[in-house]
């Protein structure tokens, strides 16, 4: 049985800025551009926006990202809802969830949810863009990690991936199948940064980052912003663009921290969040048509597939063809825009934005024909936080 809120709210506007190595603008500028595009997409006026939820990216951790003052930068007055949110990669899902509850209960009419980031500097590397936050001098238990050569997400996810691979017999070639599959989709995505075709040979020839991860196992770093506008289903029906109705929502935060005597990164909050979202939507894993999953690394995709009940433990790789570069190969309906590996890295807004596109049926050459149930995920930390959205082109 579904929840009464199923299909009562919708994403009615979507704004995606130019992505990738786009220089000369800060996070506030990108945020402003994204809300302009989203308002235009919905057929609204800026003054119709009466709620604003913001999620800063890595620049937020360094004091140059968006926050509450973005309201003034955007010239939004008399807001009925305003918040700065951060549960890392799960935040985008949480913003849409809170916006949905707000419009459903009359706290606001149109809520803009914005992720914006601009960590890349011209002439600088992606490593330098994210390294700034790690060079701020951790103290306490956190200081022990770099002292023993444990630097950032690449290292923690690499350990989790190696554990998974040893446990289930998954190989680097299998991880490559995920990477090549997503590039196939990115080729047809005009928003994607990496659109040149990729082969398994290309994957294996890419340099090591932290074993077992090659460069092509790792997500991009991007400058840009995404804005979604959330309103009630009743209002959304009369607007310019087709709505993506929100059927299910959930969160799951397992607390897999290094000092908690757990295997960090080997399970995610998708199990808890998915159970909540499935119940709200009145559907199960067998009903899912399209998956848009947070894919900071190839391993993360496999882990997420299994935690949502879409495959048994260790068997997610069976959904992928042996050679995804073969034009005749049937691709799984997962990360259909290329994901964070090949399209753009806007944290949790990457899967949500593609989820909206697929639910609307506006994916062009990459559009999946059967799009009734679109499952979107976001995770933060080393699978420490998790958010789920289930979207549909149908109100009920």
Give the residue numbers annotated as catalytic, written as ranges. 294, 345
Size of the chain in residues: 396
Do the beta carbons of residue 159 and residue 265 sit within 8 Å?
Answer: yes
With H, G, I as helix, E, B as strand and everything else as coil, classify residue 342.
helix
CA-CA-CA-CA torsion sign (161, 165, 168, 170)? positive
Q: Which helix (DSSP H) or strand (DSSP E) does residue 291 occupy? A: strand 290-292
H helices of 187-257, in order, are: 200-205, 233-236
Q: What is the dihedral of CA 174, 350, 197, 210, to 10 degrees?
A: -50
The DSSP 8-state label assigned to residue 188 in this structure reads T
Q: Which helix (DSSP H) or strand (DSSP E) does residue 379 occupy? A: strand 374-380
Do the beta carbons of residue 51 and residue 107 sit within 8 Å?
Answer: yes
Each as own residue / partner, the long-range contacts of residues 325-329 (CB below 8 Å, 24 or more positions apart, any chain) are 325/180, 325/184, 325/197, 325/198, 325/199, 325/200
The DSSP 8-state label assigned to residue 218 in this structure reads B
Do the beta carbons of residue 360 and residue 244 sit within 8 Å?
Answer: yes
Give the number of other Cβ atoms within 10 Å of residue 101's Cβ.
15
Q: Could you give the CA distance from residue 342 to residue 218 in angstroms, rounded to a whole number?
A: 9
* Phi and psi, residue 29, nearest 5°: -65, -45
204: CB partners within 8 A, 6+ apart: 172, 173, 176, 214
């Amino acid at each position: 049985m579904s929840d009464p809120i199923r299909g009562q709210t919708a994403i009615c506007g979507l704004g995606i800025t130019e992505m990738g190595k786009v220089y000369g603008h800060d996070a506030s500028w990108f945020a402003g551009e994204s809300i302009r595009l989203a308002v235009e997409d919905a057929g609204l006026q800026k003054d119709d926006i009466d709620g604003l939820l913001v999620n800063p990216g890595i620049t937020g951790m360094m004091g140059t990202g968006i926050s509450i003052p973005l309201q003034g930068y955007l010239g939004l007055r008399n807001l009925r809802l305003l918040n700065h949110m951060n549960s890392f990669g799960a935040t985008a899902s949480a913003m849409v969830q809170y916006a949905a509850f707000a419009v459903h209960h009359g706290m606001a009419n149109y809520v803009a949810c914005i992720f914006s980031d601009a960590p890349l500097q011209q002439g600088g590397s992606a490593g330098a863009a994210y390294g700034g936050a790690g060079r701020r001098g951790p103290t306490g238990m956190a200081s022990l990690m770099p002292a023993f050569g444990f630097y950032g997400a690449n290292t923690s996810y690499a350990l989790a991936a190696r554990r998974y691979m040893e446990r289930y017999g998954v190989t680097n070639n299998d991880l490559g199948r995920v990477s090549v599959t997503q590039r196939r989709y990115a080729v047809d995505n005009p928003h994607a940064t990496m659109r040149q075709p990729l082969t398994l040979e290309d994957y294996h020839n890419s340099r090591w980052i932290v074993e077992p991860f090659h460069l092509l196992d790792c997500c991009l770093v991007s400058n840009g912003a995404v804005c979604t506008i959330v309103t009630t289903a009743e209002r959304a029906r009369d607007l310019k663009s087709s709505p993506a109705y929100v059927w299910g929502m959930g969160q799951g935060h397992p607390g897999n921290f290094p000092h908690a005597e757990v295997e960090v990164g080997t399970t995610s909050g998708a199990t808890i969040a998915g159970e909540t979202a499935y119940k709200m939507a009145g559907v199960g894993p067998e009903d899912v048509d399209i998956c848009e999953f947070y894919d900071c690394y190839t391993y993360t995709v496999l882990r997420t597939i299994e935690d949502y009940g879409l495959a048994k433990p260790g068997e997610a790789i069976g959904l992928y063809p042996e050679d995804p570069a073969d034009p005749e190969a049937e691709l799984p309906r997962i990360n259909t825009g290329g994901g964070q590996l090949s399209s753009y890295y806007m944290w949790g807004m990457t899967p949500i934005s593609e989820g909206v596109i697929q639910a609307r049926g506006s994916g062009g050459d990459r559009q999946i024909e059967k799009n009734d149930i679109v499952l979107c995920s976001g995770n933060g930390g080393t699978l420490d936080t998790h958010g789920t959205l289930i979207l549909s082109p149908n109100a009920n």
